[in-house]
Amino acid sequence: MVAETTAHRDRDSLDVAVARLLFDLCDALRVALYRVVDDQGRLRVQRRVAFTATGGEEGSQDGVAVEKLAPLDECPSWAECVLLQDVVHLASAADGAERTVFPLHDETSVFGLLEIDTQDGLRPREAGLVCSLLRIVRNHVALLDYGERDTLTGLLNRKTFESSFGKLLQLAVRGTERQGCWLGVIDIDNFKLVNDRHGHLFGDEVLLLVSRLMRDTLRGVDRLFRFGGEEFVVVLDATAEGALAAFERLRAVVAEYRFPQIGTVTISLGFTQVLPNDSPAAAVERADAALFHAKRNGRNQAHGHERLIADGLLVTKVMNAEAELF
């Protein structure tokens, strides 16, 4: 069973498999697995999946979280578990069950929480078994991160974006008339000049600092990717106005930051809404078209593809039954 669980190569599928395995092993009334994210300097918690004795799986749909973030300090047991990086036992949960909270952590921080509710509490042998399993999962997650993340910035890489695009389509399908899934392509302006004038070590420092500003400025649930070179991709859920505000805020934060030895660095942004029948190439192409418009018109700008089309500033040309944007 453990081998089957750790055979998963996707973080969301792994979350579901771990929760299901522990639900069965511990004869639990409820098992819930949460992600801990740094949301603009404040730790928040998002439930990824939960299994209950009454039947069913709740908290996610096909591996895509549907719940919003909750502050870590909303639940004292969460906060204590993260602070101590150790197991926390509660005499009684809200429904009278005995609850045990386990941290999922690496060498530096807690990245997840696991709650197990049982009728009479976990016996020491059961708690030890859970801790041993979580150590195996931690090692497996480290291997997944090694393959999914950019080695310089720590952001997700382009391969991960392409392999997880199907989940973005699920979010696009579930989007309402107001709320949608948005994809932004970010390019550091005149990055070649930074490398030419200051050397590649300073260029790498700029990439690291821009990636840090992205993490600090955007929400913890927003997905950040480095596509290679000086190009990044951001995926977020928002209204059209919210997406523009988020990207404009990021642009302004980078422009106002003073980079050591270099001074001012700016970014240009193009973004588009992910459509239910999109392909990765089509969505990125639309965002790229808006990005090129920003570059051609002075840089240090953020533009949405849909607004540019509506204003007549971009043209859609149909060629060989395929849309080409220029």
Which of 19, 22, 25, 65 lies closest to 45 in space, CA to CA? Answer: 65
Give the DSSP per-residue string, 214-261.
HHHHS-TTSEEEEEETTEEEEEEEEEHHHHHHHHHHHHHHHHH--BTT
- Rounded to whole angstroms, the Cα distance separating 235 from 220 reads 11
Nearest to 325 by CA among 293, 292, 285, 295: 285
Q: Count CA atoms closer than 13 A to 51's CA, side-chain side.
A: 19
What angle do the packed helices 200-217 and 191-198 form, to 10 degrees? 140
Identify whether the C-beta of residue 229 lies closer than 8 Å to the C-beta of residue 153.
Answer: no
Percent composition of the chain: helix, strand, coil (DSSP 3-state, to 5)? 40, 30, 30
- Report in angstroms the alpha-carbon separations of 260 from 189, 198, 202, 264, 311: 17, 11, 9, 9, 39
For the packed helices 165-174 and 280-296, what is the interaxial angle rounded to 10 degrees? Answer: 80
Active-site residue list = 230
DSSP run (H or E) holding 324: strand 322-325
φ and ψ at residue 21, rounded to 5 degrees: -60, -45
Q: Please, are residues 271 and 304 in contact by the beta-carbon 8 Å criterion?
A: yes
